[in-house]
């Protein structure tokens, strides 16, 4: 299928949150809200569902490189078709997010929106215990939640997002359409939010390492040369 001819970036959506935080629920509602009759329906690309497809069980963590390759291919195919894309995984650590927002080469220009499902830790643990199967160890939830709560490394626009939308499910009821109405309102505010953020940044002059991925690579190289000063370009 030929790439879309539109010059404007396609918006793609990255779910962020600890296990059992409600990301998949938010993703399903977003998919419904983003789908329309004038384009292909929104596609949810879930690492949990890919594990079932590739390894036979969502609880089986096979080789990440194999899963990542399929995931990236599905993202590219969906974007080529013009379909809204929602990537559903924890993305609890910055390198995991950068691997998609800054390192992934895509066939069309993309504007990434981060949906940070910032559910309280106690509620994540409770919802995890209520799962009928494939419960995640509490230690994993603690680790992921703590990584996201670590302010210097919490999700931010500097990671390549046009906007970060924080959703606190502990304060929003999933009943009576309250969550859907809230998400629909957030979608309606995206244009204004992105415009304000870009206007506030327009006074800055970006340098060669402005992209966070490049800056972190530079810091790693400096650290490596500090520890091993005998290293050469070869």
Q: Per residue of the chain (234 residues), give pLDDT as tens.
A: 444 444 688 999 999 999 999 999 999 999 999 998 888 999 999 999 999 999 998 888 899 999 999 999 999 999 999 999 999 999 999 999 999 999 999 999 999 999 999 999 999 999 999 988 788 999 999 999 999 999 989 999 989 999 999 999 887 777 778 999 999 999 999 999 999 988 887 777 766 666 666 767 777 778 878 888 888 776
Contact partners, residue 160, CB within 8 Å, separation at least 6: 97, 98, 101, 102, 112, 211, 212, 213
- Residues 40/4, Cβ–Cβ less than 8 Å: no
The answer to whether position 215 is within a domain reads no
The answer to whether position 76 is within a domain reads yes
The answer to whether position 84 is within a domain reads yes
The answer to whether position 39 is within a domain reads yes
The answer to whether position 97 is within a domain reads yes
- Residues 23/117, Cβ–Cβ less than 8 Å: yes
Say what the pTM is: 0.85
What crossing angle do the helices spanning 121-129 and 138-149 adopt, rounded to 10°? 150
Give the chain's domain count: 1
At 155, list the tokens. Answer: 């999700």
Report the CATH number at residue 50.
3.40.50.300
Instruction: Quote the CA–CA distance of 101 and 127 in Å, as a whole number.
Output: 29
Query: DSSP character for 120?
Result: -
Backbone angles phi, psi at 164, to 5 degrees: -115, 125
The answer to whether position 210 is within a domain reads no
Residue range of the domain that includes 156: 10-205
The answer to whether position 227 is within a domain reads no
């Amino acid at each position: 299928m030929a790439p879309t001819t539109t010059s404007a970036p396609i918006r793609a959506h990255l779910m962020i949150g600890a296990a059992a935080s409600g990301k998949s629920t938010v993703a399903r509602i977003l998919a419904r809200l983003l789908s329309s009759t004038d384009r292909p329906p929104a596609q949810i690309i879930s690492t949990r569902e890919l594990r079932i497809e590739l390894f036979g069980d969502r609880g089986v963590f096979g080789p990440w490189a194999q899963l990542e390759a399929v995931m990236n291919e599905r993202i590219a195919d969906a974007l080529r078709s013009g379909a809204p894309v929602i990537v559903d995984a924890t993305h609890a650590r910055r390198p995991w997010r950068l691997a998609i927002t800054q390192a992934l080469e895509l066939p069309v220009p993309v504007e990434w929106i981060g949906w940070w499902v910032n559910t309280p830790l106690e509620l994540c643990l409770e919802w995890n215990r209520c799962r009928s199967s494939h419960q995640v160890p509490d230690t994993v939830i603690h680790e992921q939640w703590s990584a996201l709560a670590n302010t210097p490394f919490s999700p931010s626009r500097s990671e390549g997002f046009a906007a970060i939308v924080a959703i606190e499910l502990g304060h929003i009821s999933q009943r009576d359409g309250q969550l859907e109405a809230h998400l629909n309102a957030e979608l309606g505010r995206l244009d204004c939010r992105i415009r304000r953020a870009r206007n506030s940044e327009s006074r800055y002059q970006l340098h060669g390492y402005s992209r966070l991925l490049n800056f972190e690579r530079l810091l790693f190289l400096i650290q490596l040369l500090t520890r091993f000063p005998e290293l050469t370009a070869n």
